[in-house]
């Protein structure tokens, strides 16, 4: 048997609506933050891949590939931003860069900007 308490047919409490609002706002913010980190991890994976090809190609080719990949991901890294060095004892390649990415959250007239410093790079043996 279903009991009805007073006059509550189909009404939703404010607590439920507030909880749903918080959930949606959290997902909205989470997607923006996730996008920034996802770009960084994709670039970092590509840097490791290029370090694996270091014995086959020269630094200019690696630099062009890295700039192209960063551009396709929307990351502001040009040719001069990448530091590519080769060592002889032990034989190794070091690829490094640094950039700042921002997350802008705008929700119901509220605006918050977070800046995060990223350093994609690798040190790999040849």
For 98, the domain range is 14-125
Is residue 9 in some structural domain? Answer: no
Alpha helices in 7-112 (DSSP H): 14-52, 59-73
Q: Given a cut of 70, is residue 24 above it in pLDDT? A: yes
Nearest alpha-carbon partner for 50 in 36, 68, 72, 37:
68
Q: Which two tokens stand for residue 27?
A: 């997902």
pLDDT band at 22 (very low <50, low <70, confident <90, very high): confident
Is residue 116 in some structural domain? Answer: yes
Is residue 107 in some structural domain? Answer: yes
Q: Which two tokens stand for residue 4?
A: 């009805």
CA 11 to chain centre: 41
What is the reported pTM? Answer: 0.78
Q: What is the mean pLDDT of residues 19-34?
A: 86
Q: What pLDDT is stored for residue 7 in this prediction?
A: 59
93-122 residue pLDDT tens: 999 999 999 988 887 788 989 999 999 999
Is residue 3 in some structural domain? Answer: no
Q: What pLDDT is stored for residue 5 in this prediction?
A: 59
Is residue 6 in some structural domain? Answer: no
Q: Given a cut of 80, is residue 9 above it in pLDDT? A: no
Buried b / exposed e over 105-123, threshold 16 CB at 10 Å, is: eeeeeeeeeeeeebebbbe
Is residue 67 in some structural domain? Answer: yes
Per the structure, the count of domains in the chain is 1
């Amino acid at each position: 048997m279903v009991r009805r308490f007073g006059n509550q047919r189909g009404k939703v409490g404010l607590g439920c609506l507030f909880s749903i609002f918080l959930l949606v706002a959290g997902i909205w913010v989470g997607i923006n933050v996730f996008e920034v980190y996802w770009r960084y991890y994709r670039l970092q994976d590509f840097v490791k891949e290029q370090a694996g090809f270091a014995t086959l190609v020269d630094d200019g080719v690696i630099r062009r590939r890295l700039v192209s990949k960063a551009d396709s991901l929307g990351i502001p890294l040009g040719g001069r931003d990448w530091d590519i060095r080769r060592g002889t004892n032990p034989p190794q390649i070091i690829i490094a860069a640094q950039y700042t990415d921002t997350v802008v959250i705008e929700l119901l007239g509220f605006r918050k900007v977070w800046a995060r410093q990223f350093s994609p790079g690798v040190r790999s043996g040849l």
